[in-house]
Structure 1
């Protein structure tokens, strides 16, 4: 049985869950706490995923440490059930998926938060700077892949630069423009079709998760095209959406329950 290490509200965890649900691929859920306990930074999880990110999909002779890899795995498993199997459509689907991954969802959501609550900026600086220092210190005192820790520390410094070097309102405006451009660049969608035909594709998966997060962040007005609005209404009725626990609003009780469940998750560097 496959194991998916993920976090309930995590954007890229939702990409993985929806891809697996749409692909009809069963898995055992392994929730981890990336917010308070920061289990993704623990040594056991780092041995599993050196990037120290979620999601991670593990199985016999399988270890995928990025949502894009899990998405490709699901598409391959789905075969002709997805439009990705159509050689004529695959390049355009790939472009849509890659362009989606060029959008920093974290930058969009955090810049909106900082634009509306500028007093949080010192807190963001303190948290990210502290995480970076802790990772650098751990790198000095470990013989096990210290470069991965240093890379993660640099990533936190880069995040800090992105979120604080430019006024949050300017960053938010740029992110909104990028998202709007991406959505407007998707192909026209007839009311009886999905993004690339009469079957779903990898692009449908990532666009659905993007729109779920835009809904959650009160940014769905960026979806201006009526055909895509109707597509989104139809997509939300797919059984995989509920199976994937696709968040369109913050669920406090669900969030807290997931944190409690995460404390019981066994994190081992190899499959049992």
Structure 2
């Protein structure tokens, strides 16, 4: 698989005898951040394989489609076994931790929120270039998926199914409606932050009250995304939430997992044109 070759295995896995899974991910991908943070916090060794999902669009390569038919990142692959979704990876990473009902409820709330509509909604609402460029990119990828379906009959159904998803995204990110879309999603995010702040008001260190777990992973990444979309004050003006965010961001895993709290133009340019 030459186009999807891996980087050097994580040093965490040097003394392991079992096969080390490969994590297919992209640095700026929100759900890749969840997978990276979950695996690092749980101490699960992995070999990172970075995909260029912007310029080269490696997530559409036939080799990767055979790994993850949804053509998304992340995906965690062992020989004969693949977890092609960040929530599955999250559950696998913390499989040995007894799941509390409260923690599971927080994870459910997180995954019910359409994070892309907040992220791209903000970029398109505030940046005329993004408002022009992103819809055109979606249209281009939609056309490419249909072309790939013709070129690879064995994967045609998968490519056409993904093309249908992109048709929906083209409609969702209509430039004429994106300002309202962002305002709506931001209001929903603020409501979730209110709920988080209330839950943390008892001074607990973690969302399930006992130990760092899956709920802490997803909401740490969500809070980083609030900063990414320029709404840091939505976190800092809520005292309990501000305390929690400070504690989570101080953990070594926050840096190790490369959680983006702002757009990194130079890193994006290197990926696009390097």
Asked if Structure 1 and Structure 2 have the same fold, meaning a TM-score greater than 0.5 normalized by the shorter chain, the answer is yes
Q: 1:94 aligns with which of 94, 98, 104?
A: 104
Point out where structure 1 has 5 or more consecutive residues left out of the alignment. 262-272
1:98-151, Cα deviation, whole Å (9 max, x unpaired):
211122222112112222234643433322112112211221332213111111
RMSD: 2.1
- Helix, strand or coil: the match of 2:173? helix
The structure 1 residue matched to 2:140, chosen from 115, 118, 130, is 130
The question of whether the paired residues in 1 share the 8 Å contact of 2:22 and 2:77 is answered with yes
- Residues 125 and 131 of structure 2 are in contact (CA less than 8 Å); yes or no, is this contact kept in structure 1? no
- Any conservation in 2 of the 1:179–1:222 contact (CA below 8 Å)? no
Asked if 2 retains the 8 angstrom alpha-carbon contact of 1:32 and 1:259, the reply is no
Once the two structures are superposed, the pairs formed by residues 143-222 of structure 1 within 5 Å of their partners are 143-164=153-174, 167-186=177-196, 187-191=199-203, 193-222=205-234
In structure 2, the partner of 1:267 is none
Structure 2, gaps ≥5 residues long: 1-19
Partners of 2:60 and 2:23 lie apart in 1 by 17
Which 10-residue stretch deviates more, 93-102 or 63-72? Answer: 93-102
**Counterpart of 1:3?**
22
Aligned CA distance change for structure 1 residues 130 and 252 (closer, same or farther; 3 Å):
closer
Conservation of the 8 A alpha-carbon contact between 1:16 and 1:55: yes
SS at match of 1:58: strand
Tell me which of 33, 40, 46 is aligned to 2:59.
40
- Residues 237 and 119 of structure 1, relative CA distance in 2, 3 Å threshold: closer
For residues 113 and 184 of structure 2, the distance between their equivalents in structure 1, rounded to whole angstroms, comes to 11
Tell me what 2:262 maps to. Answer: 249
* 53-62 vs 202-211, which moves further: 53-62
Query: Can you list the C-alpha shifts for 1:25-73, whole angstroms capped at 9, x where unaligned?
Result: 1111111100110000111111111110000101244310000000000
1:66-105 alignment, distance < 5 Å: 66-76=85-95, 79-80=96-97, 85-86=98-99, 90-105=100-115
Query: d(CA) in 2 for partners of 1:220 and 1:28?
Result: 32
Asked if the contact 1:189–1:195 (Cα under 8 Å) also holds between the matched residues in 2, the reply is no
Give the direction of change, closer, same or farther, for the CA distance of 1:258–1:114 in structure 2 (3 Å limit).
closer
CA distance in 2, matches of 1:179, 1:207: 11
Shift of 1:221: 2.6
TM-score by length of 1: 0.85
Higher relative contact order (CA 8 A, sep 6+): 1
| CA distance in 2 between partners of 1:70 and 1:119 (Å) | 35
Q: Report the 3-state secondary structure (helix = DSSP H, G, I; strand = E; otherwise coil) of the residue aligned with 2:82.
A: strand
Deviation digits for residues 162-219 of structure 1 (CA, Å, limit 9, x no counterpart): 1117622211111011111122223234445211213112111000001111112212
Alpha-carbon deviation of 1:225? 2.3
